[in-house]
Structure 1
Amino acid sequence: MADIRRSLFINFFASSGGTMVNFAVNLFLARLLSPAEIGVYSMTIVFVNIAHIFQDFGVASYLQREQELTQEKLRAAKGVFFTSSWLIAAAMYSGGDWFGRWFNEPQMTPVMKVLAIGFALLPFASISSALLTREFAAGKQAWVSAVSTVASSLTCISLAIMGFGTMSMAWAYLANIIACCLALIPFRPKYLPWLPSLRHWRDVVHFGMSSLLTNCLGAVNNSIPDILLGKLGNATQVGLFSRANSTVTIFFHIAGSTANYGSVSYISQAHHRGEPVGALVNKATALLTGIAWTALALTYVFSTEIILVLYGEKWLPSIPAMDGLLVACAVGTMFNYYPAAMAAIGKPYLAALPSAITLLSRIAFAFALFDGSIWSFSWVICAATLVATPVLIVQQRIYFHCGFTAVLAALWPSTAVAIICLIGAALLKMALPASLAPIFVLLVSALPLACLWYLSLRMTGHPLTDEIHKVASGLRMRAEQRWKTN
């Protein structure tokens, strides 16, 4: 457990650093590029995200879940990964013209072709990265992430200044993958064979087929808002909605990598030891919601200030979409570890049913309820999320032996903490002068709200309190040891 906490600690600061750099780049792009240019890239990248599922074919989860990895299994995993990746990359490259015509956005064609080139290079990095996650080697992955983030950011900023527009983000995507491949070379596991093989592909494909439908539906669910809005609306609305969504999920941009780091590997190991998965998932969800729900509550209160500080006035029309997205995100956080837990117990296909219900509901509600505004579209997304919730509750009770009462008992402290912080933030904002600049509103509010959050955790007996104390104790002991050494 100590090794896992250390890996999570390293991953948090590495991902936070990368997120800060990406935020800085996004701030620059938001002021230089138009919503339509960003919308074109958003509409294109969603298809790449869907293609990632078919390219991965469950190989990464297979490598993290498998109890014993032999040379034959590793070579087979590489063979399946390379075969699926190159076939899909070729299809993406040749289909770039069709995407541009279907959306009536010619700029999508060159973007798609550059992304396809990067897609073909992914297998050189993905196998090693999955094995490092299996080993909880967060320090090595942090270095790789730093190198790729710097390469991507410099490429994006330089090309945007030179007037490449949408293509600056496409070339940055390619630079990120190339840098990642090069940075992973020193950390390549010694036991990983060089040559791929398809001789023992059946085990890999069997697990991949089980998880493919679930992963594909999950990717489509994440992508369908941009696709539907791009078809029913326009690129400008896609850009505004995308900005609202990225603001709502700002917590997951900062800490999402840490929250999900090694989840399949950790839950799988616990399952192999015979530990109850339901209790483990409930505890992990309680820890996550203790931070995430408070972050969502504060995002609701300070939505205008966040948009103005991060992106500027021209993105204020994105604010109406945030209400429905905040509710949807709060509900989705309750089931964040559900797909990983299903994969860990060897039943990844079971997560396909709620994903399918959400997907079909989003499509049906979009055509029935969308009135041309991004506000209505955000509640379309929220309603579809709520429709699938009963199915998730029933499946958790059956396969994790965890009733909804136990879930509520685990989550009530997070609910109380979020409500207390929501009320406190609203009162604090009302007390501040209306003429105070948005950035100072956020800065002045940060420390008192952080103190209120910590006090709320202690008052409610939230399990996150113990984790905070353990991390603080560990840091204090290390500081004392270094002080004595010096």
Structure 2
Amino acid sequence: MNRVRRAFVMASVEQYLSLIINFVLVATLSRLLTPAEIGIAVVGLGVCVITFSLREFFTAEFLVQRPAVNAEEVQSSGTILICACVMLGVGLMLAAPMLSRFYGEEGLQLFLAVMILATVIDTMSYPAVALLHRELDFGNTARIRVASIVAMAITTISLAAMGFGFMSYAWGNLVAACATTLMTSFIHPDALPTKPTVSAWRVVLDFGRFRGAAGIVDKIYEAIPQLVLGRFMPMSDVGLYSRMNAISGIPDKMLLSSVFSIAFPALADGVRNGRDVKRAYLHALRLICVIYWPALLLMALLARPVVNLILGPAWMEVVPLVRIVAVAGIFFFPVILTHPLLMATGKNKTAFVSNLTAKSSAAVILCSASMFGLTAMAWSQLVALPLQMIIALHYARKAVSFTWRDLAGAIGSSAIVTVAAMACPVGFTCWIRPDLDFTVLEFGAVLLLAFCGWLAGVLLTRHPVLSEMLNLLRLRQWIRSGEDRSAERAGERGFLQGTGQA
């Protein structure tokens, strides 16, 4: 368990540093670029996301799940991934002229060409990153991720300031890809495809067939509403939709991204070592809800000052949209964890079916709503996210056999803490600022009241998040962490020496 806690701390550090950098990036670019320029970049990125999601059929994540790995599997993973990526890049480059005409933007061709190069370079790092996840070495993962995003942010902002427009995003992604691959080559040189082989292709495809299909569904769900919106609405609307997602997704990035980063490796480690996965899953849901729910409701309450701070006064159109999506996000709590649970327990096909059912249904809802504009898309989340929650819980119950009473017991105390956290902020708002246009001091007062109420709720309910926080603060874990991680890495990397390919 100490390994998992250390991994969570390091993943959280990575996410918070990345979040701060992203705040700076989003805030700066929102002032340097127009909504239309941001919309073009979002469309280009969406096209690349959908195209290269096909790489997921050859994902390196099978290295995380397997009881033991060898050098042939690592080299096969890298070889197959790069070959697949190059083939997809050629196909996208041939389709680029047609896509440019479809969206009425000539510059999209160059954008796609640079993004293809960036993706090929980035793909070379995937096996190394998978091995780091297997080892729960999120310290090095954090260093790689933060260095990459810093390089991307500096490049993108500099080029945007020099007038490169939407192309700033493409060049920034290229620099980030180079930084990621360069760093992984130093940390895990054995994972680079220096000895191309496809000898382990059956293992790669056996894992990737369902994981890949699930990944494609995820990427399509993420990108297709924006692509549909870009076809039928002005590019400025795509820019507004992108910024709405950026702001309403702050609680996700702050609280859930680190959970998702370690969920599959941690649960897979638990399965390999015979631990109670059901208990771990319900405990994780309890910890997610106690922090995630109050954060979402605070985002809905403070949307106006947050948008003004991060995006600037020119983007105030997204404020009501952020409020709607933040409230809808309350239903997202089991979705983030169910897919890693199914993957860790070896139910790859079930994970795919679950993901396909949930995301395809939600995508139909969002794309249908996009025909009626941004507000309709925001309201449609109140249908799409509860639907995903129901489907996720259905398949999670089949995997670890918990009852509805077990679930209620797990998240009930988190609901009480959420009510305690929001009681004073809502009362303060009704009394002092019913128009929700908070000053800086009022903004700070709401946050302070929410924290005090949250802490009182945690103490009143004796919520386990308190003991988890205390565990994470114990210095003895950090004193031992260097030796523990070195021993763990040495054991994990021993397979290379055993095959004579170190």
- 1:366 deviates by 4.8
Alignment partner, residue 406 of structure 2? 406
* Counterparts of 1:12 and 1:428, CA distance in 2: 31
Contact 2:78/2:124, CA 8 A, preserved across alignment: no
The match for 2:342 is 342
> Which position in structure 1 is the counterpart of 2:447?
446
Using the TM superposition, name which of 322-331 and 62-71 deviates more.
Answer: 322-331
**Identity rate of aligned residues, in percent?**
21
1:372 paired with 2:372, answer yes
**Structure 1 length normalisation: TM-score?**
0.91
Aligned to 2:419: 419
Distance 1:232-1:408 versus aligned 2 partners, 3 A rule: farther
Asked if 1:464 corresponds to 2:469, the answer is no
**TM-aligned CA distance change 1:105 to 1:140, over 3 Å:** same
Contact 2:299/2:323, CA 8 A, preserved across alignment: no
1:351 to 1:178, Cα distance in 2 relative to 1, 3 A: same
Structure 2 counterpart of 1:72:
72
Distance 2:362 2:211 in 1: 22
Q: Following TM superposition, by how much is the alpha carbon of 1:449 offset from its aligned partner in structure 2, in angstroms?
A: 2.3
The answer to whether the Cα contact below 8 Å between 1:76 and 1:197 also exists between their aligned partners in 2 is yes
Distance in 2 (CA, whole Å) between partners of 1:475 and 1:250 is 32
Spell out, residue by residue over 1:7-66, the C-alpha distance to the aligned partner (whole angstroms, 9 max, x if none).
322222232122211211211111111111111111221222233432243523201111
Give, in whole Å, the separation in 1 of the partners of 2:116 and 2:191: 30
Q: Deviations over 1:260-298 (max 9, x none)?
A: 223212111212233332222111121122111111010
* Inter-partner Cα distance in structure 2 for 1:142 and 1:395: 31
Unaligned runs of 5+ in 2: 480-502
Contact 2:366 / 2:384 at 8 angstroms: preserved in 1? no
Give 1:128 shift. Answer: 1.0
- For residues 29-40 of structure 1, the aligned pairs below 5 Å read 29-40=29-40
Mapped contact 1:354–1:388 kept (Cα < 8 A): no
Q: CA deviation at 1:367?
A: 6.3
With over 3 angstroms needed to count, the CA separation of the structure-2 counterparts of 1:368 and 1:120, relative to structure 1, is closer
Gaps of 5+ in 1: 479-486
Question: Residue 117 and residue 369 in structure 1: after superposition, are their counterparts in 2 closer, same or farther (change >3 A)?
Answer: closer
RMSD: 2.4
1:339 offset after TM fit, Å?
0.9
Does the 8 A contact of 1:14 with 1:145 survive in 2?
yes
Checking the alignment, whether the CA contact within 8 Å between 2:185 and 2:192 is kept in structure 1 is no
Report the Cα offset of residue 477 of structure 1.
9.1
SS at match of 1:261: helix
Q: Provide the aligned length of Structure 1 versus Structure 2.
A: 478
Deviating more after overlay: 57-66 vs 151-160:
57-66
More divergent stretch after superposition (284-293 vs 94-103) = 94-103
Q: Is the 8 A contact 1:309 1:438 kept in 2?
A: no
Displacement, 1:113? Answer: 1.5
Tell me which amino acid in the other structure corresponds to 2:341.
Answer: A
Q: CA deviation at 1:371?
A: 6.3
Q: Which residue number in structure 2 is paired with residue 381 of structure 1?
A: 381
Q: What is residue 482 of structure 1 aligned with on the other side?
A: none
SS of residue paired to 1:337: helix
SS at match of 1:131: helix
* Paired residue secondary structure (1:60): coil
Contact 1:393 1:404 in 2 (8 A): no
* Structure 1 residues 269 and 11, CA gap change in structure 2 (3 angstroms): closer
For the structure 1 residues 18 and 191, does the alpha-carbon distance in structure 2 shift closer, same or farther, using more than 3 Å as the test? Answer: closer
Query: Which residue of 1 is the match for residue 62 of structure 2?
Result: 62
In structure 1, distance between residues paired with 2:273 and 2:81: 29
1:39-438 aligned within 5 A: 39-188=39-188, 190=190, 194-366=194-366, 369=369, 372-432=372-432, 438=439
Shift of 1:328: 3.5
CA distance in 1, matches of 2:94, 2:313: 39
Deviations 1:127-168 (A, max 9, x none): 111111111112222222232122111111110110011111
Q: Residues 305 and 437 of structure 2 are in contact (CA less than 8 Å); yes or no, is this contact kept in structure 1? A: no
Match of 1:346, SS state, is coil
Q: Does the C-alpha gap of structure 1 residues 333 and 367 become closer, same or farther in structure 2, counting only changes over 3 Å?
A: closer
Please give the alpha-carbon distance, in whole angstroms, between the structure 1 residues aligned to 2:75 and 2:92.
26
Aligned residues of 2:59 and 2:211 also touching (Cα < 8 A)? no
Aligned mates of 2:238, 2:131 — CA distance in 1: 36
Q: Matched residues in 1 for 2:92 and 2:56: separation?
A: 15
* Letter paired with 2:448: L
Deviations along 1:331-354, whole A, 9 cap, x unmatched? 122221111111111222323334
Normalising to structure 2: TM-score of the pair?
A: 0.88
Which amino acid in structure 2 is aligned with residue 23 of structure 1? Answer: F
Q: Deviations over 1:342-382 (max 9, x none)?
A: 11112223233343334443454356555633121112233
